[in-house]
Structure 1
Amino acid sequence: MNNWIKQSLPHFLAILIFLLVSVLFCKPVLEGKVLNQHDTGISGWKGSAQNALEIKEETGSLPLWSTSVFSGMPNYQIALEGKSALPVDLNKVMGLWLPKPMNFFFIACVCFYILCVVLRFHPVIGIFGALAFAYSTYNPLIISGGHETKMMAIAYMPMLLAGLLLIYAKRYWIGLAVATLGAMFELMANHPQISYYFFFIAGALTIAYLVKWIKEKDFKHIGISFGLSAVAALIGLGCYALAFTSTKEYAEYTMRGGKSLEITGNEVKKANTTGLDASYAFQYSMSTTEPLVMLMPKAVGGSTSSPLPEDSKVTEKLVEAGVPEMQASQFLSQMQLPIYWGGMLGEWGYSGGPAYIGAIIFILAIIGFVVVRSPVKWALLVVTILSVLMAWGRFFPGFNEFLLSNLPLYNKFRAPSMALIVANLTMPLMAVITVYTLCFAKDAKEILKINFKKILYTLGGITLLLALLYIGQSYSSGFDEQVMQMQLDQAGNDTLNRAIVEGMKADRQSMFGGQVMRSILFMIIVLGVLYAYLKNIIKPVMVVALLAVVTLIDLWAVDKKYFSDDQYIAKDELQVAEATPSPIDQQILKDKDPHFRVYDVQGLNNNSVSYFHRSVRGYHPAKLRIYQDIIERYFSGMPNEQILNALDVRYIINADQQGQQQLIPNPNAYGAAWFVKAVKPVANEVAELQAIGRTNLRDTAIVQQSLLKQNGNLSADSSSTISLTKYTNDEIEYIANTPTGALLYLVKYITQQDGKPL
């Protein structure tokens, strides 16, 4: 009994440390505050889900269809509910019932610690790696944005990997249990893209072990390992079946399932693709130097929302161009030029901050790739390099276009920068392997002594590479072109434009140089700690403890720039802010008609209108393809009046010259349904999409000729009438009178009982 307590004490201490750090990191939660997440508020998920949540309060269950976003789409893609056979929520158990966002960091720590325990590392190494993995800057960034499913999927990756490694180490039953639990947690987090990237890691490590087993002719173990891994995967998929099958079925009809039309401005052509367009899929691509943010958080500036500082070189360059210093400073303040200069600017997206993993973790991982002798090292190195190449996206077009066209399921995903989450796991894992090898393995000190020169050369190589980049790169950005296109001089000269660009480039070079010096400082710290250990000045545990403390302080300082206590808000204050309609919302809410829609001219990628009204726009990563075609063709500029009327848009929200919202009633909206007087046949989808914007849809229906052949030509009857008698998300009733039969127009997708759009 005493021996069990002695063995368990380090693990309890680790849990206590993870708990303490998560509580301190999210301290405002203890004051009753909640995180104000921009992607889960009324402009994000909650805006699209509010109608369904209100219906659940009334009826006890969520509807299958949402009427609030894009004129209607399956609600199970917005808010899905399912019942668990388990008596408790295992996610809450894993998070010790901690409130959000404490639970996310705690779970990530625990899962990485489990991985380190499976690898039989000293507990202090597990604590070091777990804290580094959980608090790498990408995690608080996505949590602050409201991407909770993404964070949960990231947090559970190490647990699933631990289960697979247990199986591969011939610890079959415990491995099957951990792998099954990990697969269930990972898949039920319901972020397929993160799970997809995880399988690159699992696949690379599996290949490394497979080569070893084949050399040893251990074919029995190969069969058992693959069989148990398959069992764990199938059980995990079984638990995930509800979300998986509904998403798989729906994806065929969305923009992620490909397209049959190619739309460029007013031109429409026939197309036949099976996934996302390259231009859309490669949004949020990293520039070639941008993955260095793993080592240097301000390698490309930081966040797109952060402006250049007041002491920017832009002011100096403007003064040299003849602008008075006071006026130059005011000019800089008004322009709000972004400090960020990476690949995710303008039409290509935005960056909320760097995917910083900690300088010490990065340095240790690189050292490990050089000095550690293990087939696992090569697997981790290959998949890490692959994640960087994938993160480059449109900046490495040949390679990534090949993957987009040939890699299974890859064309369903966007945001190449997200691929760097692979490195966010492999680099901390390689770092702890390095620490174990140099400090705790058999003959660790001898290994360090033999490889100390290699370590020096490795750090020198990193320094040389950073110095060459500092000297040789252009410090250009896609934003520079936008600046050059601005009309800043009434005479049409571009002197001021060039001064601003030169100033921004000078700022970027200065910032990059500062980051290089910062990295050199951390290399000196790592080298100094290892040297002190080699000279018997400090013990191995102290080596890891020092590295852990410095890493946590470093990550904490960077994280808090993007995850500050100011982002928390009183729960009551947030609820009031979300539930309080604006004056324009209040005007629209006076209309008690059961069916009409609202068009917000500036509401692209925003669900704030959907919180209170039925919107024809909004945001969802998987819009119905047929609706996306209409958006691309008719909503890219001034909206087409016929389309708005047909969608029953009774109110239009626009902004005046001062930026103030104004409400424009549209009395010409056609209503929920209507009979047409004539049918206009067209040859195909191209002609159909083009014709709906050039036709009076109040009187004429546009139908493909192939459908008319099946149903016959329907005659018009001016005496036909129809009225809406019941309108809910999943059920609509009409009373229609039509003596001879006529063609009916509905402004809601007709659905089968299974919710599949026709």
Structure 2
Amino acid sequence: MASSTQTPTPRTAAQADTFWTRLSPTTRHAGCLGILLVVALAFYAPAVFEGKNIQGTDSITFRANAQVTVEHHQKTGEWARWAPNVFSGTPYINEQISVLQLDDVVNLVRGAAWPVSLLFVLMAGVYLLVFYLTRNHLSGLLSGLAFGFTTYIPIIIGVGHGTKFVALAYAPYVVLAFVYTLRNPSLLGGLLFAGALALQLRANHPQIVFYTGMLLLLWWIVEAVGAWREDRVPELATSTGWLAMGTVLSLAMAAEPYLARYQYKQYSVRGAAAAVNSGGGGGGGMGWTASMRWSHGPGELFTFVVADAFGGGGQTYWGPKTFTEGPHYVGGVVTALAGLAVWRVRTWLVWGLGLGVLGTALFALGKYAAWLNWPMFQYFPFFDAFRGPEMWLSVTALALAILAGIGLDHALRREERRGRRAQSADPRQRPLLIAFGAVFGIVALVWLAPNTFFDFEKPNEQQRIRQALLRQNPNVSPQNPRVQKAVQQQMQKLKTQRRDALTTDTQRTLLFLVLAAGVLVLYRRETLPAWGAGLAVVAIVGIDLWGVDSRYMGPDRYSSQDVEQSIPTYQFDQFIKKKQRQAGGLGRFRVLSLAEGDPTSKARPSYHYENVGGYHGAKLQRYQDYLDHILQVTGSGPPNENALDLMNTRYIVARQQLPGTEVAYRSQESGVLVLENQDALPRGFLVGQTEVVDAPKQTWSRLRSSTFNPRQTALLPDPLDQPVTPIDSNSTAEVTMEHYEPEEIRWTVETDAPRLFVASEVYYPAGWNAYLNGEQVPIHRVNYLLRGVHVPEGEHTLEMRFEPAADRYGTWIAWVSTIFVYGGVFALVGMRVRRQRSADAGDEEG
């Protein structure tokens, strides 16, 4: 097997003198990149040329969550790091990075040319990577197009997974810097890797970064085997050292925002599962069941080559996942070329990519490959921090696209043949036909005998159909033969539709395989030039992917409204917002919205007012405990009244009246009620009694109890160092809110004796500080998730400010490391250019 550092086989004279090779390298690069840009512009033309917006659900969710931070920025020019409108307050909803790096150049046109700007960055990165590996422009063009239009890309763009898309856009540059450093062990390589990885980290999607890193780790393992077998261990050790240095520097360059984000993770549901009952943060991650949701079914891997093998996405999907937006389709041609590369291009680099494809695909199977994923989940760092194993296939598709480019390069290389060999068949034609024939044969077999491989039935589907029929006909017995017959008829109809979709797409894949193989055979027989055959294969792959992608990025994905305009405003919203203005604005009360279903899965209310519920993929673990064990909002009964009072919940949006509330408004358009909870505690108040209850379960139970009065007593995990005095009818205990902003709250507190001030604000010790008359004082955790400050006798000014030290340190670390890395790259490149010019000048003199 050849080393991965081996240079490509030089072109022969037969290939040298063609239209394509007569073009200058610069022209060929410009032509290929121009094709990628034109295709991207054409596919997303409504967004670029018609001014329409892609209205993904996640984009709308983000915009709703970010509303308070946007308003704060419009008012002050600063971005708030604490959002009080989501889950009663949570940090880092709308992170803004102040340290400038190369991604800020892309961001200059990102808004005006979304998503084409980032899509071009993605495809150009793959193009440059594959060109670097093969020195073949058309191979780079194929790979760039294949990954840019793998179906997963338009799907995530369409649903609004913007950070995921951005992270994938920078993944090719990380891989390019990785392989450059393997081939050129040097400080420059390490710095380039640091810069590329930092860009991906700054996309704010750690899961894609982790998956990209795992792909490179698998690749490196194969490289290590090759280095050991070929006595290149010192060289690989040097490369690995520079890569390790680059990794450390990249983390430093992304210290803003990751230092604060890592700190937050310790308190979130992503990092605190192992310490859910502790007083502070904790390590660990999500549980196995939560992490393995959206495991990719083994049979679904067939969707790489047949898009609708499992019904596509949405309502047509019938695979084992709860639902999916669509397949990870790369096409039969890309798969065949990738297989050709792994089989015939025998370098450690190719085998490393091959192991990357295999490993990431197995990780994507999640619970269906527990023999691999369970040990990784238990012992490999950060493996348990992410959910949705299906997402692994995004980097599987990247590796397949790279391999396909290498495969095309191999197919387009022609050896000099002399004598008898020149008269015989091209020796590379047979492997080509075998590679394409293998994929063709598998797809054809499924086409001819689909029922042998698929049952076309979603798990427990018949039971769900039966339950739906019985709900429509409540007086019919489940044992009625007519019910079973109706179930079978409906099931048979669905199976026929699914089988037809599979048949159509298998035929489609077979057609593209035949076309691509035919083009390459014509080239091997010298009927087509290499550039003509290469462009034809690129066109075939492009047409194939365009056709499938159009199913997921149709006219319904576009809207003439912007994202903010897509967030509904109802009559009851207007009523509550009016009440908020009358009360003094932000910080006066919260709202629990029950009328739209699960309040923890909807972000819309957070756009309009401070929401007890909300939607966020990594909420604070302590708040999750509040929802599950104190408020008990997911139970069958009404929310706990003490829990509502504690969180300053003045209004509840519901469809029926709840105990302890009064109807304040009834919507004429929908019948939705706005219920007023007149017992809601203010945002800040004083208590004169405390109880020490350190165990979480006992604390939850005490808070839920009807005998507990939060106006008089506060529960603490530890006793206070200073005493407090009970409040009676003759006591002075007054609190007045003077100022409320997302990151700064100020009260005037007057008390005739030492007491405990309780703020109905979420306890987050990694950022909030309290100041009494300008002097910092400790914040105590009160009532499991609130903040408390001991206040002595007298009149005081009490302030709480969000001042996370991790943000401050992270910014300084990021600036210093960014200047070091970028300055180092410019200096090293400048030295190389100067040396090259000196060498060229010496040659001219000679």
Check the 8 A contact 1:253/1:624 in 2, yes or no: yes
Equivalent-residue separation in structure 1 for 2:577 and 2:250 (angstroms): 45
1:584 maps to 572
1:483 maps to 465
**Is structure 2 residue 86 aligned with structure 1 residue 103?**
no
Change (3 A) 1:478 1:630: farther
Deviations 1:115-173 (A, max 9, x none): 02211332112111111111111111111222222111111111121122122223747
Check the 8 A contact 1:717/1:741 in 2, yes or no: no
Equivalent-residue separation in structure 2 for 1:153 and 1:112 (angstroms): 14
The answer to which of 541-550 and 31-40 deviates more is 31-40
**Is structure 2 residue 261 aligned with structure 1 residue 288?**
no
Alignment of 1:76-475 (within 5 A): 77-85=92-100, 89-92=104-107, 99-170=113-184, 172=186, 175-176=189-190, 178-259=192-273, 274-304=284-314, 338-345=315-322, 350-440=323-413, 442=415, 446-452=426-432, 454-455=434-435, 458-459=438-439, 462-463=442-443, 466=446, 470-475=451-456
Check the 8 A contact 2:337/2:407 in 1, yes or no: yes
SS in structure 1 at match of 2:758:
strand
Deviation at 1:615, TM superposition (A): 0.6
**Is structure 2 residue 496 aligned with structure 1 residue 506?**
yes
1:613 to 609, 631, 634: 609
1:308 maps to none
Equivalent-residue separation in structure 2 for 1:404 and 1:650 (angstroms): 43
Output the amino acid matched with 2:550.
Answer: K
Deviation at 1:278, TM superposition (A): 1.9
Q: So what's the TM-score if we normalise by structure 2?
A: 0.77
**Is structure 2 residue 666 aligned with structure 1 residue 649?**
no
Deviations 1:381-412 (A, max 9, x none): 22212222222223334432332222210111
Equivalent-residue separation in structure 1 for 2:670 and 2:291 (angstroms): 32
Which runs of no fewer than 5 residues in structure 2 stay unpaired?
1-20, 418-424, 657-666, 770-778, 782-846
Equivalent-residue separation in structure 2 for 1:555 and 1:655 (angstroms): 46
Deviation at 1:443, TM superposition (A): 6.3
Alignment of 1:531-542 (within 5 A): 531-542=521-532
Check the 8 A contact 2:304/2:332 in 1, yes or no: yes
SS in structure 2 at match of 1:726:
strand
Check the 8 A contact 1:281/1:414 in 2, yes or no: yes
Output the amino acid matched with 1:46.
Answer: R
Equivalent-residue separation in structure 2 for 1:177 and 1:712 (angstroms): 54
Check the 8 A contact 2:146/2:330 in 1, yes or no: yes
Equivalent-residue separation in structure 2 for 1:49 and 1:456 (angstroms): 50
Deviations 1:297-316 (A, max 9, x none): 11111122xxxxxxxxxxxx
Change (3 A) 1:647 1:456: closer
2:819 maps to none
SS in structure 1 at match of 2:522:
helix
Equivalent-residue separation in structure 2 for 1:148 and 1:453 (angstroms): 40
SS in structure 2 at match of 1:89:
helix
Which runs of no fewer than 5 residues in structure 1 stay unpaired?
305-337
Equivalent-residue separation in structure 2 for 1:36 and 1:438 (angstroms): 39
**Is structure 2 residue 749 aligned with structure 1 residue 736?**
yes
Report % sequence identity: 22
Change (3 A) 1:665 1:478: farther
Check the 8 A contact 1:449/1:534 in 2, yes or no: yes
Equivalent-residue separation in structure 2 for 1:177 and 1:239 (angstroms): 11
Deviation at 1:247, TM superposition (A): 0.8
Output the amino acid matched with 2:42.
Answer: L
Q: How many residues align?
A: 705
Equivalent-residue separation in structure 2 for 1:14 and 1:172 (angstroms): 30
Change (3 A) 1:472 1:86: closer
Equivalent-residue separation in structure 1 for 2:225 and 2:533 (angstroms): 34
Equivalent-residue separation in structure 1 for 2:47 and 2:692 (angstroms): 61
Equivalent-residue separation in structure 2 for 1:97 and 1:70 (angstroms): 29
Equivalent-residue separation in structure 1 for 2:89 and 2:519 (angstroms): 60
SS in structure 2 at match of 1:599:
strand
Check the 8 A contact 1:692/1:702 in 2, yes or no: no
The answer to which of 425-434 and 694-703 deviates more is 694-703
2:727 maps to 717
Equivalent-residue separation in structure 1 for 2:194 and 2:130 (angstroms): 18
Equivalent-residue separation in structure 1 for 2:646 and 2:356 (angstroms): 50
Deviations 1:48-88 (A, max 9, x none): 111111111221211232101000111xx212223235699
Equivalent-residue separation in structure 1 for 2:89 and 2:386 (angstroms): 23
Equivalent-residue separation in structure 2 for 1:581 and 1:537 (angstroms): 64
Equivalent-residue separation in structure 2 for 1:363 and 1:632 (angstroms): 50
1:313 maps to none
2:86 maps to 69
Check the 8 A contact 1:261/1:685 in 2, yes or no: no
Equivalent-residue separation in structure 2 for 1:155 and 1:301 (angstroms): 28
Output the amino acid matched with 1:232.
Answer: G
Deviations 1:712-757 (A, max 9, x none): 7744212333232222212222233333333443210245584489
Change (3 A) 1:30 1:623: closer
SS in structure 2 at match of 1:747:
strand
Deviation at 1:106, TM superposition (A): 0.7
1:698 maps to 710
Check the 8 A contact 1:260/1:273 in 2, yes or no: yes
Check the 8 A contact 1:115/1:161 in 2, yes or no: yes
Equivalent-residue separation in structure 2 for 1:451 and 1:753 (angstroms): 60
Change (3 A) 1:576 1:152: closer
RMSD (CA atoms): 3.1
Output the amino acid matched with 2:682.
Answer: G
Equivalent-residue separation in structure 1 for 2:591 and 2:85 (angstroms): 10
The structure with more radius of gyration: 2
Change (3 A) 1:88 1:460: closer
Equivalent-residue separation in structure 1 for 2:379 and 2:192 (angstroms): 33
Deviation at 1:664, TM superposition (A): 2.4
Equivalent-residue separation in structure 2 for 1:171 and 1:734 (angstroms): 59
Equivalent-residue separation in structure 2 for 1:436 and 1:173 (angstroms): 30
Q: So what's the TM-score if we normalise by structure 1?
A: 0.86
Output the amino acid matched with 2:740.
Answer: Y
Change (3 A) 1:382 1:8: same
Deviations 1:263-307 (A, max 9, x none): 9xxxx9xx9982102222122222221222221111111122xxx
Change (3 A) 1:22 1:272: closer
**Is structure 2 residue 673 aligned with structure 1 residue 673?**
no
SS in structure 2 at match of 1:590:
helix
